[in-house]
């Protein structure tokens, strides 16, 4: 028995591990002389049977390691449920007086179902949903969400440079829109000359700089007064 206190399902799982070790050893010994066509094992623990039908990675380390060990020792074994009244292991675990043990056929000969034909054995196996099983591994997901929105224009070293970059960007976008409109109207590109209303002059107009300043002011307000911005925009 383990030296540390264990829960009943863990003790029953250890019993299943012990059974798997003995069955695996007996199978290796008898395989040269007998053709072992199938293995069956019984347990009266619904929790253990449910553990054995679920992926072992779903459970904590203690249960996961032992479930994996059972499957590795007996990969083709079919585990079935047996009632506690027919389980000979309970005779020893629950305690029996020596005088009664000498006459207890269940302990010495096993349950009656072991003498019947496999075709009449009850193939049903109780199973609990995975979410109701104990020893489930808790997966924690941590995510950091920042509501702070960085200003994209903090990369500029001076306000004047930032203002001129934004003004040129707005001129480029407006020029693209005008060029699309010109193509749709059928005007040839030869009529579009530098300095015209389509391309704009080589220097920035005051109206363009003022428009860029308003865009920067609105963007700064949207970042630093986000809550008020959303309330006013609603």
Are 45 and 78 contacting, i.e. CB atoms less than 8 angstroms apart?
A: no
Residue 3: pLDDT band (50, 70, 90) is low
Nearest to 66 by CA among 24, 120, 11: 11
Per-residue pLDDT at 24: 92
* Domain positions in the chain: 8-132, 159-185+202-233
Note the pLDDT of residue 71: 92
Q: How far is CA 223 from CA 5, 29, 150, 209, in A?
A: 58, 76, 8, 21
Whole-number pLDDT of residue 116: 77
pLDDT computed for residue 78 by the predictor: 87
Residue 192's pLDDT band (boundaries 50, 70, 90)? Answer: very low
pLDDT for res 22: 92
Q: pTM for this structure?
A: 0.55
- pLDDT tens digits, 41-53: 888 889 999 999 8
Asked if residues 81 and 44 have their Cβ atoms less than 8 Å apart, the reply is yes
As a whole number, mean pLDDT of residues 70-74 equals 92
**Interval 79-126: pLDDT, tens:** 888 887 888 877 777 777 878 878 888 888 888 777 777 777 767 777
Is 58:136 a contact under the CB 8 Å cutoff? yes
Query: What's the rounded mean pLDDT across residues 4-9?
Result: 82
């Amino acid at each position: 028995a383990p030296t540390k206190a264990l829960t009943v399902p863990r003790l029953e799982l250890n019993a299943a591990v012990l059974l798997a070790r003995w069955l695996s050893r007996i199978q290796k010994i008898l395989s040269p002389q007998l053709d072992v066509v199938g293995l069956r094992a019984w347990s009266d623990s619904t929790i253990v049977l449910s553990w054995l039908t679920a992926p072992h990675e779903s459970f904590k380390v203690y249960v996961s390691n032992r479930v994996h060990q059972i499957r590795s020792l007996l990969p083709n074994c079919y585990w079935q449920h047996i009632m506690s009244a027919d389980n000979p292991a309970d005779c020893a675990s629950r305690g029996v007086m020596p005088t009664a043990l000498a006459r207890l056929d269940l302990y010495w000969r096993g349950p009656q179902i072991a003498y019947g034909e496999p075709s009449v054995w009850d193939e049903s196996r109780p199973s609990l949903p995975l979410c109701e099983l104990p020893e489930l591994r808790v997966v924690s997901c941590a995510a950091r969400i920042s509501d702070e929105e960085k200003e994209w224009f903090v990369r500029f070293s001076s306000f004047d440079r930032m203002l001129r970059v934004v003004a040129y960007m707005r001129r480029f976008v407006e020029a693209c829109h005008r060029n699309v409109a010109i193509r749709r109207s059928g005007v040839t590109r030869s009529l579009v000359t530098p300095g015209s209303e389509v391309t704009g002059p080589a220097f920035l107009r005051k109206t363009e700089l003022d428009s860029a300043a308003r865009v920067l002011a609105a963007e700064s307000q949207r970042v630093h007064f986000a809550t008020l911005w959303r309330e006013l925009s609603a």
